[in-house]
Structure 1
Amino acid sequence: MADRDARTQTKAPRANPLRDPQDKRLPRIAGPCGLVLFGVTGDLSRKKIMPAIYDLANRGLLPPGFSMVGFARREWHDQDFAQIVHDSVKQYARTEFREEVWRQLAAGFRFVPGDFSDDVAFEHLRRTIEELDEERGTAGNHAFYLSIPPKFFGDVVRQLHEHKLASPDDGSWRRVVVEKPFGHDLTSARELNDVLDGVFPPESVFRIDHYLGKETVQNILAIRFANAMFEPLWNSNYVDHVQITMAEDIGIGGRAGYYDGIGAARDVIQNHLLQLLALVAMEEPISFDAASLVTEKLKVLSSVRLPARLDLTTARGQYDAGWSGGVKVPGFFDEEGIPADSHTETYAAVKLHIDTRRWANVPFYLRTGKRLGRRVTEVAVVFKQAPHQPFSATATEDLTHNALVIRVQPDEGMTLRFGSKVPGTAMEIRDVSMDFAYGGAFTESSPEAYERLILDVLLGDPPLFPRHAEVEASWKILDPVLEHWARRGKPDAYPSGTWGPASADKMLVRDGRSWRRP
């Protein structure tokens, strides 16, 4: 008995999924470090990365000597780069602009002109980093953020290696951050992983999927594993099906050069939606460190099975002219830069199964598209109807399935739909919803996903970043769908402002189900 009591007393407490290893009451502050930003002229840098850096500084989460080096093919000086960052911060930052924070941050800005094949420019970059280590006390710790098209990843990584920027021998750290898409199929993803892993150790490679930095995505773990009421129902005994939706009400805009040839499935399903599926379907990890999370997500992704008839269980489309928000909008082929014979889909939907005991015979429906009815990202867990209802047929004619809906954006929160009696003398049951909204429940404002992810990079904390095995497993799921579509010609058309092509509705009608209207 004494031995057992001793074991009980010395057992380490279970880690909380939403707590940091240190006291959560204390903010996590990055140590001495800097960031080198490739692709400073792109929309992502201006609208997300630069404002996130300022917001982190404004919240006191960056070291006083933090530095940021911009690298681009521009004849700029340091002050020109600082002005670009200033304008981006003023327009897009989440927190208020404070002059004293800006002055301290801007003192660490440097700019290196050149292209990715320019050896002289990378030597200039190496000297600039060394100078910052001396002047700003960055201690040799630098992250290289590749906010550039994937076709240039290999060039930049090789240059970092050749100019001894990737692996210092003085005990400092160097990390590389890459944005999606991680390749365009399994073969290219493996080639990219080989390039990255040949220069940086796996723990120093951070593949950013910004959806994993969203509070509501991380809250999936809390909903499942911090509450006793949901997990007992989270299986095929009670769940009828799961719908995961990412809908946009905008078109491709000026991104034809990027989007044509990529399409909705590669752009969203391969990364965002399959990562959401993995978080929803995974088993409870033994801890919430990166290795444990990856292990459980990989089990799910490796268990995903495509139905045999892809012609009946997938759908794709291209938006036509129509109305969005009361405004007449052009069709896909009216957008500048789109060729008349393009087969690139702007809408994609697929039905998947997960061959595990927990999810046997529970279909997962994934869909994404542009120019749809509204902007929304959500996960809907739809439960089976009660096996017996002791009510008359007229009492429950409008009653649908219970559902737990996790809203990722824009109205972050959660809705639980269930049946309740209508006030009155008759026994009439109707659907009602119980709603939780982040904005109403917490006084703290949610940080932008890029704030959390960039801070995690600087801290070397990788739980929210997909590993290369997850990327390859996702391409193994999607590649057969893309190959099937390539043999079938042009996607179906759908009017802008609707919820996609008729073929997507037929997918679910065949199963006796229908898409949610968010």
Structure 2
Amino acid sequence: MTSAVFLIFGATGDLARRKLFPAFYSLYRERKLGDRFAVIGLARRSRTNDQFRDDVYESIQEFARYNVTKDEQWDAFAEHFEYMSLDINNVDGFRQLRELTDRLDVKFDIGGNRLFYLALAPELFGNVSHNLKAGGLLEGAGWHRLVIEKPFGYDLPSAEKLNAEIRQVFEEQDIYRIDHYLGKEMVQNINVVRFANAFFEPLWNNKYIANIQITLSETVGVEERGGYYEHSGALRDMGQNHMLQMLAIMAMEPPSRMHPEDIRDEKVKVFRSLRGFQTAAEVRANTVRGQYVAGNIKGEQVRGYRDEDKVNPESTTETYFAARVFVDNFRWAGVPFYIRTGKRLPVKTTEVVVEFKNVPNNVYLSRKHKLEPNLLVFRVNPLEGIYFKMNAKQPGSEGTIVPVAMDFCQSCQIGLNTPEAYERLLYDAARGDSTYFTRWDEVALAWKYVDKIASAWGERTDDLHLYSAGTWGPEQGQQLVAEDGFRWWPVNGQDEGEVTWGHTQM
């Protein structure tokens, strides 16, 4: 259990409603919060405490893993929530906030711990940090931690400026940069599978692995985020953070200790080993960008990106990108990592596919049969699980070989109520465990890699390929993999009829 006053800036926003308030309730129900905590909701909007608690109740009712009813247990939980209207540019308001925080600290015997969660636009991080200090909220006993959301900058120079502003107030060890994909159950399971099973780690290298594919696909368009998305695009919105973080977890060396800094050190080594692009021609040879046009998704006609609200009718912002990435170290030399993400794709899923090298041709069984390569697949979202595809004799046949899958479906387990990513990350931040948060050098190296791609894309627009909503992106995305003799493997929910897999439940 942990004790802290949680100060949520942007408490009337979508993130707080969908993720943070339900996370607090789940932690409370599981006794990970105890009774020595308080949550202060902060926003410009005027709300009473009762109105705020009603907002919290409605968000929990709609989005939480646990059912909630207005009873004694709810009243005990809601008592810990208070609201204050705050102009983040007014230092006097922060002084009033300190008085409220101190009062709640005494009321719930918290001991001076403070967690500041900035669910705000990044350009406000520096100003809020300075006003927290000026308002006296960083004084006194206990720890003081800052949790901030992506995007952390627009490119490396803006990220460096943002980091410098925050570091004037907070030490690096007290800054928790959230990448919520690192809080997902199956992402955290990747290292367990790698390092806790003796038969995987010896094979986890370029001698046995042909390629690794990371897919993060979405069926939705930009929805109400057209203005934001015009500024970021798929590369900055997903590539710089989620995609490269998952790649680093797949590629990292075993850490020497189960310590947050040791784990993050190994990820940094991967980022330093990424093969950078020297020319714009190299970028175009190893990346594909696309933008969706009107199409059909599951029987529903949807409009194109340029017809979305707050989007330039002549926009060249990418809503899809794929890349061939190399990690130039002894373990991974020559192994391509294919990453792709996009909006308005046919299926919502996040999967990592490890394709192992096939057995030698013209030797024993491969002389008479077309043997499929072995695959190890991590299903991250929305279905959680791991499966391994291998070749086996078809029952009752005269030696016919077919691919079969051993399938561990974590989502299928009856009674399993898997914690949401934000629950884990909130809990970890309150405990001071920074393992699944990104450190500044990770962020800087990821921006350095991505900025070269963005710079090359900015030189011309004739390589922005259009694709119909409801398809798997532009054809060039398939060609990127085919150039190396591979193909994108079907993801969960994809109906392509490419392979038929039997299932043996584990």
Matches within 5 A, 1:106-505: 106-166=78-138, 168=139, 170-306=140-276, 309-390=282-363, 395-397=368-370, 399-440=371-412, 444-489=416-461, 491-505=464-478
Q: 1:40 aligns with which of 4, 7, 11?
A: 11
How much has 1:114 moved relative to structure 2? 2.4
- Aligned partners of 2:292 and 2:469 also within 8 Å: yes
Q: Write the distance in 1 (CA, Å) between the matches of 2:49 and 2:82.
A: 5
The one-letter amino acid of 1:137's match is D
Distance between the aligned counterparts of 1:295 and 1:392, measured in 2? 44
Do 1:306 and 1:351's aligned partners in 2 also have CA atoms closer than 8 Å? no
1:52 to 16, 23, 44: 23
User: What's the secondary structure of 1:117's corresponding residue?
Assistant: coil
Task: Answer whether contact 1:58 1:101 (CA < 8 A) is retained.
Answer: no
Determine if contact 1:395/1:428 at 8 Å carries over to the other structure.
Answer: no
Q: Name the SS of the counterpart of 2:136 in structure 1.
A: coil
Q: Distance in 1 between matches of 2:317 and 2:356?
A: 34
1:200: how far off?
Answer: 1.1
In structure 2, what is the Cα distance between the partners aligned to 1:164 and 1:484? 46
Aligned to 1:265, the other structure's residue is in SS state helix
AA partner of residue 440 (structure 2): H
Q: Distance in 2 between matches of 1:295 and 1:498?
A: 38
Provide Cα deviations, 1:93-115, integer angstroms capped at 9, x if missing partner: 11121533321121122211122
Contact 1:81–1:111 (Cα < 8 Å) also in 2: yes
Shift of 1:312: 1.6
Question: Unaligned regions of 5+ residues in structure 1, if any?
Answer: 1-28
* Matched AA of 1:314: T
Q: Deviations over 1:458-489 (max 9, x none)?
A: 11111111111110011111110011111122
> How many angstroms does 1:440 deviate by?
3.9
Paired with 1:115 and 1:396, the residues of 2 have a C-alpha distance of: 70
CA distance in 2, matches of 1:355, 1:100: 59
The match for 1:103 among 67, 72, 75 is 75
Task: Report the residue type matching 1:116 in the other structure.
Answer: I
Supply the AA of the counterpart residue of 1:37: I
How much is the aligned-residue C-alpha RMSD, in angstroms? 1.6
Q: C-alpha separation between the residues in 1 aligned to 2:396 and 2:465? A: 48
Equivalent AA in structure 1 for residue 337 of structure 2: F
Please tell me whether the aligned partners of residues 34 and 141 of structure 1 are also in contact (alpha carbons under 8 angstroms). yes
Q: Which TM-score applies when normalising by structure 2?
A: 0.93
Instruction: Provide the rounded CA distance (Å) in 2 between the counterparts of 1:113 and 1:273.
Output: 37
Partner Cα separation in structure 2 for residue 393 and residue 114 of structure 1: 70
Tell me how far apart the structure 2 counterparts of residues 305 and 415 of structure 1 sit (CA, whole Å).
30
Secondary structure at 2:268 match in 1: helix
- Amino acid across the alignment from 2:458: A
Question: What is the aligned-residue identity percentage?
Answer: 41
Q: Give secondary structure in 2 for the equivalent of 1:249.
A: coil
- Determine helix, strand or coil for the equivalent of 1:318: strand
User: Relative to 1, partners in 2 of residues 1:108 and 1:380: Cα closer, same or farther, differing over 3 Å?
Assistant: same
Conservation of the 8 A alpha-carbon contact between 2:390 and 2:403: yes
Does 2:40 align with 1:69?
Answer: yes
Give yes or no for contact 1:38–1:148 (8 Å, CA) kept in 2.
Answer: yes
Q: Answer with 49-58 or 76-85: which moved more.
A: 76-85
- Deviation for aligned residue 1:161: 1.6
Question: In 2, Cα distance between the equivalents of 1:344 and 1:138?
Answer: 47
Compute the displacement of 1:427 (Å): 2.6
SS of equivalent to 1:480 = helix
Query: C-alpha offsets along residues 364-384 of structure 1, whole Å, 9 cap, x if unaligned?
Result: 111110110100101111111
After superposition, the Cα gap between the structure-2 partners of 1:307 and 1:117, relative to the gap in structure 1 and judged at 3 Å, is: closer
Question: Residue 216 of structure 2: SS of its match in structure 1?
Answer: strand
TM-score (norm 1): 0.91
User: Kindly tell me: are residues 69 and 362 of structure 1, through their superposed partners in 2, closer, same or farther at Cα, counting changes over 3 Å?
Assistant: same
Instruction: Provide the residue aligned with 2:51 in structure 1.
Output: 80
Q: Deviations over 1:54-111 (max 9, x none)?
A: 1111111113132111111112122221111111111111112153332112112221
Q: Which runs of 5+ in 2 are unaligned?
A: 492-506
CA distance in 2, matches of 1:442, 1:214: 19
Q: How many residues align?
A: 486
Give the superposition deviation at 1:337. 1.2
Alpha-carbon shift at residue 446 of structure 1 (Å)? 1.4
Task: Assess if the C-alpha contact under 8 Å between 2:91 and 2:134 holds in 1.
Answer: no
Deviations 1:292-345 (A, max 9, x none): 101111111100004552112101111111111221111111211111122211
Tell me if the contact between 2:23 and 2:422 (Cα under 8 Å) persists in the aligned partners: yes
Q: Distance in 1 between matches of 2:412 and 2:313?
A: 47
* Aligned-partner SS, 2:438: coil
Amino acid paired to 1:480 = K
Match of 2:480 in 1: 507
CA–CA distance in structure 2, aligned partners of residues 363 and 268 of structure 1:
19
Structure 1 residues 425 and 138, CA gap change in structure 2 (3 angstroms): closer
